[in-house]
Each structure stands twice: as structure tokens, then as C-alpha cells.
A and B are shown apart, each in its own frame.
Chain A
Amino acid sequence: MSKGKTKGKNKPLLRLEELGKDILKQIKKKKNPEIAVPIRALSNVEFDEKSKTVRLGNKISARYFFHIAHAKKFLQTLEVAEASHGLLKEDKHASLRDVFYMVKRTIPGTKVNVVDEQSESDSVIEDLELITSNSREQLNINANKNGSVAGEVIIEDKGDKIDWGKLGSGGWSIPSNVENIKFKKVKAKYILYMEKAAVWERLHEDKFWKKQNCIIMSSQGQTTRGIRRLLQRLGSEYKLPIYVLTDYDAYGFYIYSVIKYGSINLAHISEKMAIPSVKFLGITSEDIEKYKLQKHLIKLKDHDLSRLKQLKEYAWFKDNKAWQKEFAAMKKMGAKAEIQALSSRGISFISEKYLPEKIKDKEFLD
């Protein structure tokens, strides 16, 4: 068993028990029992100029039991803590969905469910990470597998040796917990992360990673923790440059922002997730002109515009002239585009022309 695992096994268990004991103490003192939870919201997030990451502030809220508005959340927190405690004791792992079902039930004598939707238990799990200072994975709760990777890398996972270059058309699917993966051999020179699984498949089919000697990685939509952690480990342990390829829209930009600076929701684990060195490869407004994608634009909707406005206001973009210019260009154009728009120039245009050119010319946004 790995070093990390042994260390993580006792600590979270202890922390959860400490939480219980603390509450018990309060009850014995006849105090209204409370749990201190750091606030996870934009109001309690700061941009750390030094590390260039989003960091959680130190605002803390008390979650009381005898409080009409808090009681249910209080109960949920304890229920999830109990569930996690059980998992740790039995050394079993459960998915977020599993945990949802472990705590979901109707409280006897009421019409109230402990949790109604998975988002509630997910949110409480994130709270518990903060309360116990342990990540979700350390609490033996995993997210679903999501994302694929391919490239000239050999790793060891649970004793199995895996060559990322020899896994057929599907590639290796990235687990939610990558803490215990050991890199055996890393030949690749850089990592290309893309928003779209379909684009990854295109590049994989074209053996782009082999031709370019790189690693290609993708998820579907938001980047999961496993991917972010994997990116960070490869980035820091092997000093590989990381390029991000997303749709040309505000949501694409935010995917880049999360990978680079960390997210508001998970600001507490930014140091484990954020990779300040990543660069934005495309698609940029310049690309639209250069590769003549104007005909394949989609008009911006209201929610696109409001998201764009929010991005502009983020502390980490505020003083970034290049990005402000990019935002302004998009607003002026009033349109967005998908990566796949490049296919209008030929199915392998992206792997044969666009990407090699961009990487060669180092046309990145930072």
C-alpha cells in the first residue's frame, strides 16, 4: 500500500471523529450544537497574486442545529460524515451518487427527506472537505470516471502497468482519484487538454500524440478533479507545458480559468489543483479571422453575454490586457464558435494544420 494512502487512512477518520466529539461536547455543555464551516462563495474567495491561484478566504459560518434555517443542513452534514466514516473504516470507496443514496431517506414522522437531490449531498461533501481539511478522495468518496488520455506515457496503478499509447481507440479513462498513480516513463513533451471528447477522438484517430510526441487529454465539459490533479502532477513532476483547447465562448474560457487559477467552489484545494503555467491555445478571436471561421459562428445569447461580463470582472482577468482584449473582441463580434468549426476546413485540418501551426508559432494566450 502506498505511503499516501496509509497517511490518508487514519487522518480523515480521526478528523471525522473529532467533529463528532466536538459536537457532543457542546451538547453536554447545553450549548446549541454548531459546526463551523468555511464559506464557499465568491464573497470568500481571493485571488492570490503571489501563487496566481484562487484562494479561499477565512470567513466561517456557524451551522446550528436548533435553527430553523440550519437544522436540515446540520443533519445532512452529520449524515454524510457518518457515511464517510463508515467507508473509511471498511476501506471502501463510494461514488458521489452512492453517498447520495446512503443518506437519502425520509425522516420518520415527517414528509422531509434528509436529501432530495444529489447536489445537496455533493455540496455537503465539499463542506466536509473543508471541515476535516481532507479532500473528497481522502474521505473515500470518488467522483465518476470522466475523461480520456493518450500519449507516450507508462504508469502504474494498483500494481498494473499501463501504457497510455497502447489502449486502442478509447484511451485510458481517468479515475477520479489519481493520487496513487505512479508515472513510470514519460516521453511526451507537452500536454494538450481539450474541452471536447469528440475532438480528442479525432486527434487520437489521427495519432496526433504520436506525431507530435505529446499527451492528449479531454473530459466532457467541466474539467473534473481527477483530470485537474493529473494535469497538475504531470505539469509539476515532469515540467511539461500544458495547452488548453476549448470552444470559442465564455464557458470555454472559464474551463481554462479553472484549470489555471482554480475554481471558486474548490478554492480550498487550489494548491492541489491550480496550474498557473497552463496556456490557452484556442480558439481565439484571432483564429476566427485567420482560419476564416466567420461563416460558422453562432450568435451570442443573453446568458453568454452575462457570463462574459462576469469573467471580465474576475480579479485574475481584470488586469490581464490580452484577455480583456479577447473579451472585448468577442463582445464586438457578438458570436461564439465550437472547436468543431475547424472541421469545415477538412476533417483532419485540426490535427494536420491548425494545432501544429499554433504550437510551432507559440500562439498562446496566457
Chain B
Amino acid sequence: MTNTIAEELAKKQQAISVSEFFTRNRHLLGFDNPRRALLTTIKEAVDNSLTEDMPLMIKKKGITKIVKIGRFIDNYIEKNKKNVLILRGGNLEKLRLKEDVEVISFDRKTLKTSFKKVSCLFRHKPNSEIFRLRLESGRYIDLTPYHSVFTFRKGMVCSVKLNELKIGDPIIVPKKNWITQKRIHSCKLNILEELIKLDKELTKKINVYGVSNIFNEEVIAQIKSILPREKWYKINDFKKLSYIPLNILRELLISPEKFDDSKIGFSLSRNKIPCILKLNNDFAQLMGFYIAEGSTLSNLEKVYFSFGNHEKEITIYVKDLIQKVFDLNATIIKAHTSALNVTCYSKIMAFVMKYVFKFGTNARTKKISEHIWNLNYDDCYAFLLAYLAGDGYPSKKIFELLKNNNSLSSLPVQKITLATISEKLFVDLQYLISSLGLSYSIGYSKAKKRFIYGKCANFSSSNYIFIYTKQKKSNINKLPVSESILYCNDPQLKHSISRENQTNVYIDTLNQQITSQLTMLHEGVELFLSSDLGVLAIKNIEKIKYNGNWVYDISVPSTENFLAGTGPIFCHNSLDACQDAKVLPSVKIKIKQLEEERFSITVEDNGPGIVRKQIPPIFARLLYGSKFFTLRQQRGQQGIGISAAVLYSQLTTGKPAKITSKIEKNRPANYYELSIDTKKNEPKILVEKEIQWDKDQGTKIELEIEAIYQKGARSVDDYLKQTAIANPHAEIIYFSPDDKRIVYPRASEELPKEAKEIKPHPHGIELGIFIAMLNMTKAKTLTAFFKNDFIRVSPATAKKVCESIVIGPNTRPNKLNRDEAEKLYKAIQGTKLIAPPTNCLSPIGVEALQDSFEKEIPAEFFASVTRPAAVYRGNPFQIEACIAYGGQLPQDKSIQVLRFANRVPLQYQPAACAITKSAIDTNWRGYGLSQSRGSLPIGPIIIAIHVVSVWVPFTSESKEAIAHYPEIIKQIKLAIQECGRKLATYIRKTVKVREQKERANLFEKYIPEVASSLSSLTKEKKEKISSALEKMLKRSLKDLIPEEEPSLEKNPREEKNNVKGKNKREKQTTLKA
């Protein structure tokens, strides 16, 4: 025996590659059984991404609005495919506009701004990188380097390409107001016409009152042709009570003027409003207050404005405005110790605010209604003042201005600060302020605490706008010295320029110099000074990531420029106003059964494709491209990914993966056949060639695997359905093994906001990663390491931390030994740091989530909630929840909990997941469901919980269950509870009403029986008794079934007993038995 046993054994031991490890431990990847393998393969292959868009102000058919340029142009082009000119081999598309669309533009000769007609729309493939041009006030625009904006050079306005610009260069922006004093529109708004434009379903219960003058023979004949014969009796009701349901009215051929004096209201509801609203100064002010402080309950019960209780005077003022505008009597209610509410219990007013004016119903979704853009200058100004009186600071002084009809410049403060958490309103306000000729700058503030009137208040993160009251002193009123003054001999001016290095000069100063003999201005400065334009200096130009398929441009023939950007900036209409305009994702999945347990799988998307050299490693190397050191909310998995599916395919069938990918139209696609060399964890390329693929762009993967196809829970079908729910903007087309074609259409045409990438927070990483980061950083010192590689560590903090453990802040990070590294790690963990920013998350959005829920789930009631972002262990996260109730959902089973993490449905290990735990821990009994201890409640409910985070803490690498972090569980429970409360309200209301209806229905069935018995006892005719009883039932039904606003406080039993004694409600009830 020459070798010891140990040596023998050692021979057999050898390093194994990652691939080999996972070959032996494939359960870690979610391939533990053939049924699950099928699902995991599909899951890894389905992926998509997300982006946002740039605002553009347009006027279409006389209506002004702010749109996203990409969507606006895409829409036109998609709708007018036939008329689109395809140029440069498909790289450029051009559409000549026949419709009347106008954008803001300045005249090249007079430098005055006005709306100008658009002649053509363009979009073309981005052929270079995209840059964000940011100006000193904060406004920005994204452009290709070849696109031009305008600069001010030696007194002249000239276009210049982005790549010729540098920081500090002046960029032309609008300075003076571009809203005219003249009324653009009639100052009346016929609400009736607006309502008729809405969907019939929405306006079901709206009636028009005071219409006795319309019922002539002709109209009655029309109504008769609309109503079924058995409902003709209602016409008498209409005539008698002088009303007509809107949905009947909309079918009638009748001139709208007939209703000028009518009122509109919900059936059986108080507080009707006039058909005609005057769009005057009062209206503008009321809307301004609404944007600032108003809310509409989603059940349309009321519209209310909340003010602090020191703002009594404003409340009275607002109450008065409501009276003037809507002819409604609002009440001032003390909401709690520090708030006064002006509340208007008018369902129709709430409806109009929500569906006609579309101001958004809460702080996050607020925006400026189109109806405001069409007011004149004074009214827009009043709107802004009213808004500022509510939301701005100092609000009290602004309110004084509003009352006394003064302008902002009379305020004793330098600037007015306003904050909003609505991104849309933020952009809208910038355009509004700019359109009024006011100058402003913007800022962003994170969540913080402030003391107001001695009370501590929590402020969530907001976007700020600072409006300068002393307009003259603002940046926009300066011009660069070098570009405006040719030579200067004015001693004072000369002194400040040469001695104090002053680079800018106020336009007031320049105005004085015009007539001066001592100073010579560049030619054109004089014209510019009297123009509508101003300049703002470039603050920075940065390269941004752009996944868009196209960039956009607009042609305005007369002036060759238009206003766009996040905050208005003039763009030259040559080419390339670049917008993120990613195509909406569409994914095709095809599963074909080859043998009993063998399937071929094809997944195809329309994404941007993958560049050639990246294809082999992405598909055939495990752990390729895992990013540990930057954090970004990502769809799909943070680890093994598609290569795991390739590995599984290889292990079970020995077949290679076939990949086709195309990144650009008019270029050939790349085709690969790949397998994995598991020893080395390297891709093995079996076939590599260029092929033709009749698709603009996208990626396709074909795999053959051993698997079992089943339906039901945790199936591929189920997974795809849930994926559709979590990705409302995606279209999923699925060919199932049983040869069915299932299409999940889009529920939303809007791309979600793109998630931002953030660096890790020191409290969110483990020691091992920390050490790895120390070794790999490019930073030369520890201070720099903390500053560059992490967020929320200032150099001062970094220095303090290092010094606390006696390590020099300037030590090279890779020089630390393990013990020192651990010490440092512990020290930073023990240091108080600001929580990470939460604006890096991209939730699905309450509305989109609910839309897709409504699309996929046959329930009768839906509610959804987005929680404010929160932080666990230094990682920001956010919870969304949507609940579906009733309808065709099973009554007697446990509720269904759909779990999502970063838009990916989680299907396995529900019991181990924080989401399930939170749902079980929630007390559902309060929401009218039965629930036994430690289990999910019973009831017809599906609830979806979406956990959004830059780093979702899964319990294992197969990523099926979310770890139990108390912060996450707390937020989930709060989200469920919020949904639950909405649900409980609904259950109480609707279900009770329905039950009563069902019971009342029973009476109807009993009547013939009772009649027949009575008839044989009394020899009275059966039919006679029946009809007498039926009449009674109809009369008393109203009391039996509360029609829409059941008085819930009343004991239901009491109601039932009340059948006898009728309380007369409004007479125009139309009975629907």
C-alpha cells in the first residue's frame, strides 16, 4: 500500500465549477421536479423592462394639454400607418399631420412666443447615446448629441447641437407669459356635453332635472323608441317630476341649449349642480384650492377641502366659491383638532371633479385639468394664487393677494415655495408658472420632520418649486456678459465685470445701457431684451441610459422650434428630441409536447435584443452578470437566470439551447446553438450564424426539456396569468401544450416608470460583500470608498467612523486585513445613517394593478392600495395590494393570496413567505369573513400583494418566498388592512342590499302560492289576489331595498320590519324589481 486512504480520497476531491455544483444541486434553482421544471424554465425566459417619457405642451382642436411626446407621436403614427413615410431604410418615420395640432414656439424674427401649427411628426431609431441637458433652475431635457437647442451668442439666438455645448452656456427658454389675455374659449362649460362624452356605464344614475319643456310629442316618440315597451310607464314619471335620465337623454335628438337652465344630479341624491358652469375667475380660484387642498372620496360621497384650523377665513372663502361656482351649500366641519374641512356632500360634484375635470383624486395623482389651460391669463393667475394659498408658503400672505387681486410681486418675500408629491403636477405647474411669465427653479426634498405652529409634522418626500416674486433678480433675467456686451466703458459696470469677475448682467442694467454712449451692446441684444425669451445656463450634461426604440421630433414649419422638456425648454425641430419610447413589451410563449414527459419551449419577446458577443455568456454561463454592488429594482431574478434553464435542458435531454436575437431592424439576427461546459462553467458554441428574422427586434430562445405539464395551482398557465396581472403594460401570448392560444391583452398602454439604480446602503449589506467591495473598489481612500461606493455616507461620517476604530481615513481600502475590515463593518453598522432614498422604486401603480385585476378576475368588487415606500435593513421597498371580492369567486374556500416580488409571481413555498404570514396574521373577521386561528380566512377573495424593492430578501436561491422582516410584514399588513377596510365597507353596503333584494324576490315567488291557498279558502279569483299582493310588494319594495344609499346605520332588521310603515322618500325612484 503506497497511498494512505486520506490521499486516495484527496485524489477524488477536486474543485467543482459553479455549473457542476448546480448540476448536482438543481433543486436550489427551482428544478426539483419535472412539473416545476417546466414552470421554472418559462419563468426564467419571460422578462421585460420599463421606461418613462418627456412632456410636451400641445394644443389640439383648441384644447391645450401636456402630453408625453413619445406616446403622442407613436399614437399618431400607429393610427395613421398608411400615411407614414418610411425613410432611411426604416430608420426614420415621418407623418404629415392633417389635424390641427399646435405647439408653443417662438418667432425667429420677433422672438415672441405663441402657439404654432405642427406640420410633421417624426420618429427615428436612436443612433447614438442620449444625454440629459439640465439647466440651472432644474429643468431638463433628454437629447441625442446631434439635436439642437437654442443658445444666445453675441446678441443672437442661434441653434446649436448638444455636442457643441458646455456647462454654463446659456439656453433659450420662455420668459414672458404665453397665455393670452383674450379668452380662447367660451367662458361657459356645458357639463351635460362633457358627461355625454363619458362612458354610459359611468353615467348610469345621473339624471337631468327641470326639463319639463322638452317633453313634446316628438321627444316622447323618441323616448319610446329607446325604452322597451314595458318601461313606457316611466315617461309619465319623467313628465310629472320633470326629469330625464342622462343615458336616455344622450340618445335623444335634442339641442343642448334646451338644458341651459337645468340641473344635473344623481338619482336619489341631494345637491344637484347647474348644467352650465361659468369658467370664470371664481372657477379658477376654486380649482386652485382644489388642487392644493381638495380631495374627492372614491365612492363620490363628497368633495372636501382641508385646511388648518388657523385658516378659518380661507374656509369661508372656499365655501363661498363653491356656492358661486356650483350653486351648492358646503359645510365647514372641524375634522380634528388642527384641521377644518370644507365639505360638500354632492355626489355629482364629486363625479364632475373626478371624471370631467380630472384633477386626480389624491395628492399623488393630482394634475392640472385641461380646462385650466384654456382659461385666460388673469384666471390662470388666480388659479395659481389659489393653489399657492393652499399649498404654497407663506400661504396666508398669498391668500391676502388673492382676495385683493394683487400680484405676487407685491409680496414681501423673495420666493414662494411650493411642494408636491405628484410628478405630473410638478411638470404641469412648471408649464403653468412659465406660461404666466414667472420665473422659478426646482428642487427635490426627501421626507423630513418640520415644526409648524409648535406641532411636529411629518413631510413625505416632495418635489419643490420656488417661484421668485422679485422677478428681476432671478437667473432668467440675466444675460451672460460675454455674449451681450461688446465693450463697456461705464465705470460701475466695467468695475464689476473686470474686478469682480461678474459673468452675468441683469437685463435691467442692459436696458439702461442701451441708450448709453459708454457701452456698446451686441447687435440683437436690444431685440432680445424686449422679447418673450430668456436664458438659463447649463448646469450639467450627463449621459443617460436609453432603452427607447425611437427618438422623436416635431416640425413647425414657420418657426422651426417647439417647447418641450421637464420644465419648458425650446428645442430646434431638426431631429432627435429624444424620448424614452420603448415599445410596449409583448411576449410569446409556446410549449409543445414531444413525448409523454418531453417538451419543447419557445419564448420570444420584442425587447431590445442582445448584442452578439453577450449571447453565449448570458445563456450558457451560470452566475454571469450578477450585479452585487449596485441595486436596482429588477424584474426577474437576481441570480442564476436563464442559464439555469439551459443547464436543466442540457441535463435532461442533452439538446442545446437555440437563441435568436436581433437588435435593430434591417440588420440580420444572430443565431446561436449553445450548451454549457459544466466543468469550466463556460459557454460551448455549437452553431453560430447570421440569419434573417422578420421581426424588428427581440430575442427568442428554444429549449427542449424533460417536464410534466399540469393545470391548476402552480402551473405554467397560472404563472402566466399572474405575470399578466403584475405587468399590465405587457402583452402575453401563450400557446399551451394542448394547442390553445391564450392571449393576455394589455390593461395599460402606459409604460411604468423606470426604476433608478442606487448604490448600496451600508446597513443593507453583509460582511462578506463588504470585504469583496473593499477589495474591488476603485477608490484610493476609505473616505472615497464610502462616498463613491455607497449612498448616505458623507466624507465627514466616513472619517468619524474610521477614526472611531483607529484606522486612517486615507488608508487604501484593499490594504485592510480581514479583522480590520470586520471592525470597520461593525463600526459603520453601528453608525446612524440617513435611510436610503425611496424614489428608486417603480411600483405597478394602483390604477394599473387594479385594471389588470379587473381584466383577469371575474369578481364584483376591487380595491387597491400602494403603501408609501419604507426601508428594511437599508434597502428601500414598497408594498402594493389589490383585492378582488365576490362575483364568480368561490364562497366556501380559503381566500387566494397572489404573491409578487418585483412583478414576478411567486408560486412555491407559500407557507414560508412573509406575504402569506402577513395575510394570516391579519384579522379578517373585522371585514366580515370567517377565519380560524392561524389560517387564511374563508371567502370569495383574491388578494395580490406586490413587494417592490431593490433587493427582495428571498429565503432561498429558488426565490419563491420572502423572508420575514418585521418592517416588510408590517407594511404588508397595513396594505391588507387598508384594502380590507374598503372591502368591509363594500360588503356591508352592497351585499346587504343584494341579500335584501334576493329576499324580496322570494316574496314575489310566494305570492302565487299564497294566492292559490287563499283562493281555495275564499273562492276569490287567484289572479285578483295575486295582482293585489304584487302591487303591495312593488309599493313596499322601496322600503325593503334601499336603492343606492342604504342607511347603513339603521339596523337591517328594523328595515325589514318597516315594510308596513312606508317612509316616503324621493318620488322619482324608478323601481327595478
Contact = CB atoms under 8 A, between A and B. Distances in A.
B1060 A75 contact: no
Contacts of A64: 1059-1060
Interface string B1003-1021: 1011011101110111010
Given A79-B1009, A107-B1005, A28 B1028 contact: yes
Nearest to B1007: A65
A20 B1006 contact: no
Contacts of B1003: 65-66, 71
Interface string A226-252: 000000000000000000000000000
Contact of B1014 (A24, A31, A69, A109): A24
B1014 A68 contact: no
Contacts of A325: none
Interface in B1040-1073: 1040, 1056-1057, 1059-1060
A85 B1059 CA distance: 30
Interface string A21-53: 101100110111100000000000000000000
Nearest to A114: B1009
A215 interface: no
Contact of B1013 (A17, A31, A78, A109): A78
Interface residues of A, number: 35
Interface size class of B (residues with CB under 8 A): 20 to 34
A2 interface: no
Contact of B1010 (A16, A74, A86): A74
Q: DSSP class of A's interface residues: helix, strand, loop or mixed?
A: helix
A188 to B, nearest CB: 45
Interface in A72-109: 72, 74-75, 78-79, 81-82, 85-86, 107-109
A110 interface: yes
Contacts of A16: 1017
Contact of B1059 (A27, A66, A79, A82): A66
Contacts of B1002: 71, 110, 112
Interface string B17-58: 000000000000000000000000000000000000000000
Interface string B663-683: 000000000000000000000
Contacts of A114: 1009
B1005 A24 contact: no
A20 B1057 CA distance: 23
Instruction: Give the one of B1010, B1020, B1056 with max A CB within 10 A.
Output: B1010
Contacts of A81: 1013, 1017
Contacts of A23: 1014
Nearest to B1012: A82
A67 B1057 contact: yes
Contacts of A17: 1017-1018
Contacts of A131: none
B1036 interface: yes
A69 B1010 CA distance: 16
B1073 to A, nearest CB: 14
Nearest to B1037: A66
A27 B1056 contact: no
A19 interface: yes
B1018 A67 contact: no
Contact of B1017 (A30, A31, A85, A110): A85
A79 B1060 CA distance: 23
A76 B914 CA distance: 54
A299 B1036 CA distance: 58
B1060 to A, nearest CB: 5
Interface in B988-1005: 999, 1002-1003, 1005
Nearest to B996: A68
B1017 A82 contact: yes
Residue from A32, A75, A78 with most neighbouring chain B CB atoms (10 Å): A78
B1056 A68 contact: yes
Nearest to A105: B1009
B1010 A65 contact: yes
B1018 A24 contact: yes
A146 B1012 CA distance: 35
A106 to B, nearest CB: 10
Contacts of A32: 1032, 1036, 1059-1060
B356 interface: no
Contacts of A75: 1006, 1009-1010, 1013
A30 B1028 CA distance: 8
A45 B1017 CA distance: 31
A123 B328 CA distance: 59
A107 B1018 contact: no
Contacts of B1018: 17, 20-21, 24
B352 interface: no
A182 to B, nearest CB: 34
B1064 to A, nearest CB: 15
A67 B1040 CA distance: 9
Contacts of A112: 1002, 1005
A68 B1057 CA distance: 8
B1020 A24 contact: yes
Nearest to B1000: A68
B1033 A66 contact: yes
Contacts of B220: none
B541 interface: no
B6 to A, nearest CB: 75
Contacts of B1031: 30
B1005 A27 contact: no
B1025 interface: yes
Given A21-B1018, A86-B1016, A66 B1010 contact: no
A78 B1029 contact: no
Nearest to A34: B1060
Nearest to B1004: A109
A27 B1032 contact: yes
Contact of B1025 (A27, A67, A79, A107): A27
Nearest to B1020: A24
A64 B1057 CA distance: 10
Contacts of B1028: 27-28, 30
B556 to A, nearest CB: 69
A108 B1005 contact: yes
A68 B1033 CA distance: 12
A24 B1059 contact: no
Contacts of A108: 1005, 1008
B1060 A82 contact: no
Nearest to A85: B1017
A69 B1054 CA distance: 12
Contact of B1060 (A21, A66, A69, A107): A66
Nearest to A71: B1006
Interface string B766-807: 000000000000000000000000000000000000000000
Given A74-B1010, A75-B1010, A66 B1017 contact: no
B1056 A79 contact: no
B867 to A, nearest CB: 42
B1013 A82 contact: yes
Contact of B1016 (A28, A66, A68, A82): A82
28 contacts: A17-B1017, A24-B1018, A24-B1020, A27-B1028, A28-B1028, A30-B1032, A32-B1032, A32-B1060, A65-B1010, A66-B1040, A66-B1059, A67-B1056, A71-B1006, A72-B1006, A75-B1006, A75-B1009, A78-B1010, A79-B1009, A79-B1013, A82-B1012, A82-B1016, A107-B1005, A107-B1006, A108-B1005, A108-B1008, A109-B1005, A112-B1002, A114-B1009
4 tightest Cβ-Cβ pairs between the two chains A and B: A20-B1017, A78-B1013, A20-B1018, A82-B1013
Interface of A: 16-17, 19-21, 23-24, 27-28, 30-33, 64-69, 71-72, 74-75, 78-79, 81-82, 85-86, 107-110, 112, 114
Given A71-B1002, A71-B1006, A107-B1006, 4 more contacts: A21-B1017, A32-B1059, A75-B1013, A108-B1008
Interface of B: 999, 1002-1003, 1005-1006, 1008-1010, 1012-1014, 1016-1018, 1020, 1025, 1028-1029, 1031-1033, 1036, 1040, 1056-1057, 1059-1060
